[in-house]
Amino acid sequence: MSTFNTRQFRAGNSQAVRIPAKMAFPPQTELVVYREGNRIIVEPKERTLGDIPRILHTLNQNFIGRRPEFEENKRDWS
What amino acid occupies position 32? V
Q: What is the pLDDT of residue 10?
A: 95
Report whether 44 contacts 23 (CB < 8 A).
no
Residue 22 makes CB contacts below 8 A (sequence gap 6+) with: 2
The string of pLDDT tens digits covering residues 4-56 is 888 899 999 999 999 888 888 888 888 999 999 999 989 998 877 887 887 77
What pairing do the DSSP bridges indicate for beta strands 39-44 and 31-36?
antiparallel
68/21 Cα distance (integer angstroms): 38
56/60 Cα distance (integer angstroms): 6
pTM to 2 decimal places: 0.52
